[in-house]
Amino acid sequence: MKDLLLTLDIGTGSTRAGLVTNTGEILGFAQREYEQIMPQAGWSEQPPSLWWQSVCQCTQELYARYAEYWPRIAAVGACGQMHGTVLLDADGELVVDRAMLWNDKRAQPQVARFSHQQPPQPWLELLNNPPTAAWPAFKLAWLREHHPSQWERIATVLMPKDYVNFRLCGVRATDYSEASCYYLMDSATLQWSPEALRQFGLRADQLPAIHLSSEVIGHITPAAARVTGLPPGVPVVAGTADMAATLLGSGVYQAGIASDSTGTSTLLTVVSEHPLLSASVNNLHLANSAWGGFTLLDAGGDAMRWARSALSAGQLSHQQMLDMAAEVPPGAEGLLFLPYLTGERLAEHTNSRAQFFGLQRKHRQPHLYRAVLEGVALASLRNLQQLRRHAQEPEAMIASGGGARSPLWLQIKASVYNLPLLQTRNQENGTTGCAIVAGVGVGLFSSFAQGVSRTVSIEREFTPDPRQHEHYLRCFELFEQLYRQAQPLYEQLDVISSFSFSPDEGTPQ
């Protein structure tokens, strides 16, 4: 009986594999963590070989623990971090074992040049997104300018989960969610745009075929079976972007439903039948046939990951940090945090920096942790206000991602947004979404709607606290002033941070 689904989530902070039933129960789970590589300010990279190695380790661990379930695997479904630009040559080898990630800003000069030379509205209507350094089209423009020898070897440009699928089944393919964020897909035809290809000097054969997320694109090869432990011949579906998987796995897939998804980043999304055409809103084709208009805070959950590393040298668990933050009253006794640790995707100044404001001698670690949680919520409120200008006002938001596991953070956000936040029973939303996609692909679910109804349910609602909301509005007013007044200083800071000393210059003799 083939009634189980093997899911893979190629994230920014870890790769995760799950063994999931057709009712959404996770029988087994394995994870391998890793870090982003940041060679200089605004750059963020990871080696694709690390993702594949992590996949192999996770699936081998699951096989060692749950070998008796292996014959029941009906399909493999993957999701992954978006925009990580993987370059393959004609032989299927990596042109370079380094991928520019979604939060990499090095292509900002190419974006600025494009925006200066091109009228914005026709491109917005054609490609459903404003130009940003996140999109692979601009990353490739940077590569052609700075590494022409690598550029000449490119046969295919894939996203992280598509590279893993290539290693699993040998097929170079992607899905609509990933394709919609290349800055190369026509949002009307859902195919690669000839105009965009000409603009960026690309050939159509350098881009993968586009599929619906649930479409079977291939089967586990004998070579992949040997290194992963997966049964050869198991179907592999196209899969979807991690954001689309998380939305689907939290029940956010129909027009009018809204989401707060906090993993490494914080994504606020409203589902609609068509893209929301605005220079301040991104658009993603979902795993099903719908669109998600979204805003992005680059450092959402990553802000807490940074705080754990910087403030406790990794000695505290995330739960210990949350427990300490809960001891501090709302507003962290006059301490604010602007969480722009890796800049911003859509802003007048994309090189924003993070800062604490209001530090006093009385402040201790718990105050800083509370301020980080609240700072992410306040920055997200800025983004929510942008969505409210262009989309239907949501009545509530469904929370997903790692940030949805914290009642404290959900209560803070509910009071900051002045909206109820709903928590799903199964909080491994990305894994659930991958399972739904794979299950639809091989007929375990008759539709995405049936997959959601069988696997997703709401367990708890967090309602806004009126007194806290009023206090957070005052905090937000100051947050906004700090944000605006700091903008002109970032270029100066870039100049200062680019100056370097030799290792022994700062050492007293």
Banded model confidence at residue 509, pLDDT cuts 50, 70, 90? low
Predicted confidence at residue 125, as pLDDT, reads 94
Identify the CA nearest to 21 among candidates 2, 8, 48, 34.
Answer: 2
pLDDT at 506 over 70: no
Q: What is the pLDDT of residues 399-418, one digit of tens each?
A: 988 888 999 999 999 999 99
Q: Are 208 and 156 in contact (CB under 8 A)?
A: yes
Task: Give Cβ neighbours of residue 302 (< 8 Å, ≥ 6 apart).
Answer: 12, 13, 264, 265, 341, 342
Contact 11, 81 (CB under 8 A): yes
pLDDT of residue 503: 65
pLDDT(493) > 80: yes
Tens of pLDDT along 430-445?
Answer: 999 999 999 999 999 9
Q: Where do the H-state alpha helices sit in 67-188? A: 108-117, 120-127, 136-146, 148-153, 160-169, 176-179
Confidence (pTM): 0.86
**Which has the minimum average pLDDT: 8-17, 174-183, 346-355, 458-467?**
346-355
Alpha-carbon distances, residue 163 vs 48, 85, 308 (angstroms): 8, 10, 31
Decide: helix, strand or coil at residue 44: coil
The predicted structure's pLDDT at residue 490? 86
pLDDT at 389: 87
Given the structure tokens 């947004």, which residue do they identify?
417
Q: What is the mean pLDDT of residues 203-227?
A: 98
- Which of 154-158, 380-384, 403-407 tops mean pLDDT? 154-158
Phi, psi of 236 (to 5 degrees): -120, 125
Whether the per-residue pLDDT at 148 is higher than 60: the answer is: yes
Confidence of residue 2 (pLDDT cuts 50, 70, 90): very high
The crossing angle, in degrees rounded to 10, of helices 466-486 and 365-388 is 80
SS3 398: strand
Would you put residue 134 in left (φ > 0), alpha (ψ -120 to 50) or beta?
alpha
* pLDDT, position 201: 96
> Which DSSP string do the residues of 207-225 spell out, in sequence order?
SPEEE-TTSEEEE--HHHH
Q: What is the pLDDT of residue 394?
A: 87
Count of other CB atoms within 10 angstroms of residue 313: 8
Mean pLDDT, residues 130-141 taken together = 96
Report the amino acid identity of residue 283.
N
Q: Over the chain, what is the mean pLDDT?
A: 94
pLDDT tens per residue across span 299-353: 999 999 999 999 999 999 999 999 999 999 999 999 999 999 988 876 777 788 9
In angstroms, the CA 305 to CA 303 distance is 5
Calculate the alpha carbon distances from 271 to 19, 253, 470 in Å.
Answer: 28, 6, 29
Helix boundaries (H) for 74-135 = 108-117, 120-127
The C-alpha atoms of residue 127 and residue 114 are separated, in whole angstroms, by 14
Range name among 31-40, 336-345, 488-497 with the lowest pLDDT average: 488-497
CA atoms of 162 and 458, how far apart (whole Å): 31
